[in-house]
């Protein structure tokens, strides 16, 4: 449990506010992200070996990957939790997206990694109107997310090549910083409108996170205000991302939406999933990816999901 909770602190990507600051790794240079033309002419890029996967349902039944996809096809929104810096996690996410797209091309992908004000830029990139470098620059990816772009690039590029709508789900960074500072009561009318309604009274969500969040960020004796504000930020993320996923799905006329977010927003169902279900009126399922033998695996989580995918060594 202690290892899982410390991992969740990294997975949640807390905004750069007084007690919630997280250092983010530097984005590699363009030279690091692309193969030089000379090398491309002499050797093909190495293709990674296929992942060995084992799928287990919430009722402990072993499933093939095909059976998993059958089950996911019955849902409207598929929430796949991740450890942000885990390359196998993102490969599994892409495998799920490809399998669903092969069966129904009217799918979309929603990502915690991008903030909603940059949706038009994402649309332009998917439509081929701007370059990859422009996309990264104009979405301020390095500043606002910062994990190695190569982890997410295959997912985004698959969406671009296949014209799959890609949704920016997250609140903007400046907003969460201000929300932590002033609380809901201190927001302007325009800011309250941007936030929308936030349900802070989901019992299971509150019981799990309210006392835990400040401690995850080094506050052993947090004040009531620190507890309240930490929980407010967490809940605002979950509420807004769930709402944005549902609204994007409706606005774009999609049959399904795959939501990619940190496992702390997905596991237990009371974060993004239940809120997305409430806003969409559809069925939502949850998926966890566990890399066996890895220090970053979350197989000791006490929060349930509908399906767990184990990546075997």
**Is 170 within 8 Å of 113 (Cβ atoms)?**
yes
Residues spanned by the domain of 94? 2-18+52-312
Q: What percent of the chain has pLDDT over 70?
A: 83
Beta strands in 33-161 (DSSP E): 52-57, 62-63, 77-82, 107-115
pTM score, whole prediction: 0.85
What pLDDT is stored for residue 25 in this prediction?
36
> Lowest-confidence range among 25-29, 212-216, 288-292?
25-29
- Report the alpha-carbon distance of residue 123 to residue 97 in Å, rounded: 18
Give residue 302's pLDDT band: very low, low, confident or very high (50, 70, 90).
confident
Residue 219 has a CB neighbour count (10 Å cut-off) of 14
Judge whether 45 lies within some domain.
Answer: no
CA dihedral 34, 40, 43, 47 (to 10 degrees): 40
Is the pLDDT score of 206 beyond 60? yes
Q: Does residue 71 fall inside a structural domain?
A: yes
In this model, does residue 11 exceed pLDDT 60? no
Reduced to 3 states (helix: H, G, I; strand: E, B; else coil), residue 305 is: coil
Q: What is the CATH number of the domain that holds 163?
A: 3.40.50.11550
Contact 123, 47 (CB under 8 A): no
pLDDT over 60 at 3, yes or no: no
- Domain assignment present for residue 168? The answer is yes
Question: Quick one: pLDDT band at residue 296, thresholds 50, 70, 90?
Answer: low
Run of H or E residues at 257: strand 256-262
Residue 199 located in a structural domain: yes
Q: Residue 35 falls within a domain, yes or no?
A: no
Predicted confidence (pLDDT) per residue in 210-264, tens digit:
999 998 888 989 999 999 999 999 999 999 999 999 999 999 999 999 999 999 9
- Cross-strand partners of 57: 307
**In the block, residue with structure tokens 């609380």:** 183
Helices 119-126, 149-161: axis angle to 10 degrees equals 60
pLDDT of residue 28: 37
pLDDT tens per residue across span 127-145: 999 999 999 999 999 999 9
- Inform me whether the pLDDT recorded for 48 exceeds 60: yes
Give the residue among 233, 231, 232, 211 at the shortest CA–CA distance from 222: 211
Give the model's confidence band at 35: pLDDT under 50 very low, under 70 low, under 90 confident, else very high. Answer: very low
Would residue 299 count as lying in a domain?
yes
Q: What is the pLDDT of residue 37?
A: 33
- Please indicate, yes or no, if residue 33 is contained in any of the structural domains: no
Q: What does the pLDDT read at residue 122?
A: 98
Domain count, the chain: 1
Does some domain include residue 44? no
């Amino acid at each position: 449990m202690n290892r899982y909770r410390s991992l969740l602190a990294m997975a949640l990507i807390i905004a750069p506010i007084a007690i919630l600051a997280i250092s983010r790794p530097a984005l590699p240079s363009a030279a690091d992200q692309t193969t030089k033309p000379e090398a491309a002419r002499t050797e093909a890029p190495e293709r990674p070996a296929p992942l060995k996967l084992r799928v287990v349902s919430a009722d402990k039944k072993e499933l093939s990957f095909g059976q998993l996809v059958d089950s996911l096809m019955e849902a409207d929104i598929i929430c796949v939790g991740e450890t942000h810096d885990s390359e196998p996690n993102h490969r599994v996410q892409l495998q799920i997206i490809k399998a669903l797209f092969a069966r129904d091309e009217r799918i979309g992908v929603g990502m915690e990694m991008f903030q909603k004000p940059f949706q038009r830029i994402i649309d332009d990139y998917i439509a081929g109107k701007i370059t990859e470098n422009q996309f990264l620059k104009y979405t301020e990816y390095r500043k606002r997310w910062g994990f190695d772009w190569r982890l997410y690039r295959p997912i985004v590029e698959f969406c671009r090549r296949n014209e799959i709508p890609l949704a920016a789900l997250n609140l903007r960074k400046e907003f969460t910083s201000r929300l932590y500072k002033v609380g809901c009561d201190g927001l302007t009318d325009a800011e309250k409108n941007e936030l929308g309604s936030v349900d802070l009274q989901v019992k299971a969500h509150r019981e799990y996170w309210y006392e835990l969040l400040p401690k995850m960020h080094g506050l052993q004796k947090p004040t009531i205000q620190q507890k309240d504000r930490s929980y407010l930020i967490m809940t605002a993320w979950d509420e807004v991302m769930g709402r944005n996923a549902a609204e994007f799905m409706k606005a774009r006329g999609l049959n399904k939406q795959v939501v990619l977010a940190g496992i702390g927003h997905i596991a237990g169902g009371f974060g993004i999933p239940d809120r997305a279900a409430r806003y969409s009126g559809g069925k939502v399922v949850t998926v966890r990816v566990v890399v066996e033998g890895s220090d970053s695996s979350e197989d000791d989580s006490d929060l349930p999901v509908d399906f767990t995918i184990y990546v075997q060594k």
